[in-house]
């Protein structure tokens, strides 16, 4: 059969029967193969996949839903107020890689009021708009999580919660991030540490603050937390950083949990005449490759958001298939990116 013959006539919708006719396989075999049937030979599955791709086959989701009760859709409820550079892009790419070769498609639903509304989750539940949901930036008692727990709906959070009922999650090990940063700064001879951290409504915030306070106490360091930075315009955070430089007891080291906040912070510190790595030490959480270009000598601790998207998807697909949520809880370890001199004392 020529490539010309393999194409459906103009206006003709490609169906399972079209693929069956092209491959010479039965309708049931084609259907099973496209559903990911592992009982079929790999050769058969590859044959069906190649034909579907050549024909431009798109599943009839309405038909699939009627037959199976499934949508073959994963919904990502993405925090629209995110302040980490490239977070959304890396997260979506990671999910996209993980669902490649599966029957699932991704729907992205941005939320611009961080976790304050259950409307999006209610819509998904009421309309069965997805088979499972990924939520970013979870709160300790996130009402969206409670809603899905009560509904028995498959979901996973990027972040932990305080609910007694176990649920699937994948999270950055923020306690290890804070402890690692404090240990690095203490080894450089720093004595007065400040943590610049964002939204105090998230579980991540509380985990970082507790770990920071514990680690600085262990190291015999003074500890301060710059609060209320979530949602601040960069110019305001820059002003706050500049004011710090004018204080007699200013911090000699800082830890920042966001690349966007780090840029504003550094701008204010430099405006106040401080030199990074000399007058003040800084460690920030890295989620992109942009800041190392801007500040090549500044230490960072990396969170691999691409890998997080893939892991969230892997765990969610297992949850959709009925896996126990207590077995679907993982932490991503921070990756230190030490760039500045390490000589056991502050420059």
Torsion of CA 267, 268, 274, 280, to 10 degrees: -90
| Mean pLDDT across 100-113 | 86
Q: Which residue has better confidence, 37 or 163?
A: 163
Read off the pLDDT band of 268 (50, 70, 90). very high
Binned at pLDDT 50, 70 and 90, residue 113 comes out as low
pLDDT > 90: percent of the chain:
59
Per-residue model confidence (pLDDT) at position 5 = 46
Task: Give the Cα separation of 322 and 324 in Å (integer).
Answer: 7
Region 112-134: mean pLDDT is: 83
- How much is the pLDDT for 60? 61
Whether pLDDT at 209 is above 90: yes
Is 60 exceeded by the pLDDT of residue 63? Answer: no
Report residue 265's pLDDT band, with 50, 70 and 90 as the boundaries: very high
Q: What is the mean pLDDT of the chain?
A: 87
**167: three-class secondary structure by DSSP:** coil
Residue 146 CA to residue 67 CA, distance in Å, equals 29
Burial of 294 (0-12, 13-18, 19+ CB in 10 A): exposed
At 37 the pLDDT is: 63
The DSSP letter of residue 300 is E
Q: Is a pLDDT exceeding 90 seen at residue 212?
A: yes
Q: What is the pLDDT of residue 45?
A: 84
Q: What is the mean pLDDT of residues 63-87?
A: 73
Distance, in Å, from the CA atom of 104 to the CA atom of 96, rounded to the nearest integer, reads 10
Integer Cα distance of 95 and 285 in angstroms: 21
Helices (H) and strands (E) in the chain, counts: 14, 12
Judged against a pLDDT cut of 80, whether residue 203 lies above it is answered with yes
Residue with tokens 């979506």: 92
Q: Say if residue 66's pLDDT is above 50.
A: no
pLDDT tens column, 230-251 = 778 889 999 999 999 999 999 9
Is the pLDDT at 36 greater than 80? The verdict is no
pLDDT tens track for 295-345? 999 999 999 999 999 999 999 999 999 999 999 999 999 999 999 765 444
Write down all domains in the chain, each with its CATH number in brackets: 3-58 (1.10.260.40), 68-172+305-333 (3.40.50.2300), 174-303 (3.40.50.2300)
């Amino acid at each position: 059969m020529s490539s010309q013959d393999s194409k459906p006539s103009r206006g003709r919708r490609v169906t399972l029967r079209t693929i069956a006719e092209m491959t010479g396989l039965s309708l049931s075999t084609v259907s099973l193969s496209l559903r990911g049937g592992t009982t079929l030979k790999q050769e058969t599955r590859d044959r069906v996949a190649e034909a579907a791709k050549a024909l431009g086959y798109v599943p009839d989701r309405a038909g699939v839903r009627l037959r199976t009760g499934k949508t073959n859709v994963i919904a990502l409820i993405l925090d629209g107020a995110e302040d980490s550079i490239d977070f959304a892009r890396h997260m979506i790419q990671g999910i996209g890689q993980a669902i490649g070769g599966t029957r699932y498609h991704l729907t992205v639903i941005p939320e611009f009021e961080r976790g304050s509304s259950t409307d999006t989750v209610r819509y998904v539940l009421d309309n069965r708009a997805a088979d499972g949901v990924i939520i970013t930036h979870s709160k300790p008692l996130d009402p969206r999580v409670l809603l899905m727990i009560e509904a028995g709906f498959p979901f996973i959070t990027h972040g932990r919660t305080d609910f007694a009922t176990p649920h699937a999650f994948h999270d950055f090990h923020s306690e290890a991030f804070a402890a690692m940063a404090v240990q690095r700064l203490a080894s450089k001879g720093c004595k007065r540490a400040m943590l610049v951290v964002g939204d105090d409504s998230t579980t991540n915030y509380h985990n970082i603050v507790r770990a920071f306070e514990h680690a600085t106490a262990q190291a015999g360091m003074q500890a301060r937390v710059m609060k209320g930075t979530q949602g601040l315009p960069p110019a305001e955070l820059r002003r706050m950083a500049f004011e710090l430089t004018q204080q007699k007891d200013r911090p000699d080291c800082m830890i920042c949990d966001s690349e966007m906040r780090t840029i504003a912070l550094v701008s204010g510190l430099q405006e106040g005449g401080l030199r990074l790595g000399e007058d003040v030490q800084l460690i920030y959480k890295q989620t992109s490759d942009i800041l190392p270009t801007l500040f090549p000598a500044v230490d960072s601790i990396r969170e691999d958001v691409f890998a997080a998207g893939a892991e969230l998807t892997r765990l969610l697909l297992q949850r959709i298939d009925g896996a126990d949520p207590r077995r679907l809880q993982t932490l991503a370890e921070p990756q230190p990116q030490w760039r500045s001199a390490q000589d056991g004392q502050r420059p």
